Amino acid sequence: MDQIQKDLLAQVADIHDVPEGAYNIRANGKLGGRNTTANIDIVTKEDKPGIDIIIKPGTKNESVHIPVIISESGLKDLVYNDFYIGDDSDVTIVAGCGIHNCGDQNSQHDGIHTFHVGKNARVKYIEKHYGENEPNADGKNIMNPTTIVEIEEGGYMEMETTQIKGIDDTVRDTTAHVRGEGSKLVVRDKLMTHKDQHADAIFNVTMDGLDSSCDLISRAVAKDDSTQTFTAHITGNVKCASHTECDAIIMDNAKISASPEIVANDLDAALIHEAAIGRIAGEQLIKLMTLGLTEEEAEQEIIAGFLK
């Protein structure tokens, strides 16, 4: 693995060496390294590109890293990764994709991740998307992550998804079926776009489990001429609770559109949605300037806090 690939790994998965526990590194569309453990198996799919990650029931405090890195310009990569998270397990899954584009061709990674969260299982899923270009390399960096989640009785899934830099075009599509009694989905989505980048974030959550719940918070910053759309459809078909929050800062000539939809099909479905889009409040800038920060430093501090 060369230095560029090592740097990408550090960016997207915080990996500086061989990770502990189970891992599968995909580099330029090929297997770059794999490790399995007694409780976590990783198997290459035979019918299509991708892997199955099988976590045995009762696996506790283990992690799986499955980063994808692309350093060849013009590569178009598509993978299907299926996660089978056994009953009563408690694991952390770190995914993420980094593109280093050295040429004028578009590089693209489309990852379709499907999670089957077993009964009373807990999973924390961390996904980071990052792109960079060499000077004068105009190739676009494109990522289209699709995430499908099914949560059984008492299951809990927490998604921490981040795209901060360097992705020119993305459709981030998440569909979750919170179907088990008492199951819960938590999403913390952070997104920042620059220049003429575009991002679509789509969330479809259906709650069919009695006393199931969903807590989705999206924080977005659009700078320069970038554009973003945020769409959330939350449906409660039984006694359940959900809270969605879409909070966005626009700067320069950027544009953001948010379309929240909440559908209650049961008298005891309690669904809340909050959405706010606006520029950085002038009083916040002034406050930090009275502490001695310049306007630019104040802006950076406010955005860093907002996306923290």
Q: Does position 272 bind other proteins by CB under 8 A? A: no
| 36 binding other proteins? (CB under 8 A) | no
Closest CA to 99 of 204, 34, 48, 29: 29
- Closer CB to other proteins, residue 143 or residue 302? 302
How far apart are CB 294 and other proteins at their closest, in Å?
5
Among 16, 45, 76, 287, contact with other proteins (rule: CB under 8 A): 287
Residue 216 within binding range of other proteins, rule CB under 8 A: no
267 vs 291 by CB, closer to other proteins: 291
CB closer to other proteins out of 61 and 290: 290
Total number of residues that touch other proteins (CB under 8 A): 22
What's the closest the beta carbon of residue 44 comes to other proteins, in angstroms? 41
Does residue number 265 form part of the binding site for other proteins (CB under 8 A)?
no
Report the residue from 247, 262, 266, 275 that binds other proteins according to the rule CB under 8 A. 247
Q: Which residue, 43 or 307, has its beta carbon nearer to other proteins?
A: 307
Is residue 294 within the footprint of other proteins (CB under 8 A)?
yes
Question: Least distance in Å: CB of 220 to other proteins?
Answer: 12
Closest to other proteins by CB, 110 or 297: 297
Of residues 99 and 288, the one with the C-beta less far from other proteins: 288
DSSP string, the chain: --HHHHHHHHHHH--SSSPSSEEEEEETTEEEEEE--SSEEEEE-SSSSEEEEEE-TT-EEEEEE--EEE-STT-EEEEEEEEEE-TT-EEEEE--EEEEE-SSS-EEEEEEEEEEE-TT-EEEEEEEEEEEE-TT----EEEEEEEEEEE-TT-EEEEEEEEEES--EEEEEEEEEE-STT-EEEEEEEEEE-TT-EEEEEEEEEE-STTEEEEEEEEEEE-TT-EEEEEEEEEE-SSEEEEEEEEEEE-TT-EEEEEEEEEE-STTEEEEEEEEEEPPPHHHHHHHHHTT--HHHHHHHHHHHHT-
> Which of 46, 108, 30, 121 has its CA nearest to residue 74?
108
55 contributes a contact to other proteins by CB under 8 A: no
Closest to 245 in 3D by CA, of 219, 208, 278: 219
Q: Cβ closer to other proteins: 135 or 282?
A: 282
Sign of CA dihedral 163, 100, 8, 32: positive
Q: Note whether 308 binds other proteins by CB under 8 A.
A: yes
Q: Which residue bears the tokens 């309690």?
A: 270
CB of 218 to other proteins, least distance (A): 13
Using the rule CB under 8 A, is 289 a contact of other proteins? Answer: yes
Name residues contacting other proteins, limited to 162-191 (CB under 8 A).
none
The footprint of other proteins on residues 123-162 (CB under 8 A) is none
- When asked if residue 221 is in the footprint of other proteins (CB under 8 A), the reply is no
Shortest distance, position 287 Cβ to other proteins, whole Å = 4
Residues that bind other proteins (CB under 8 A): 219, 247, 281, 283-284, 286-295, 301-302, 304-308
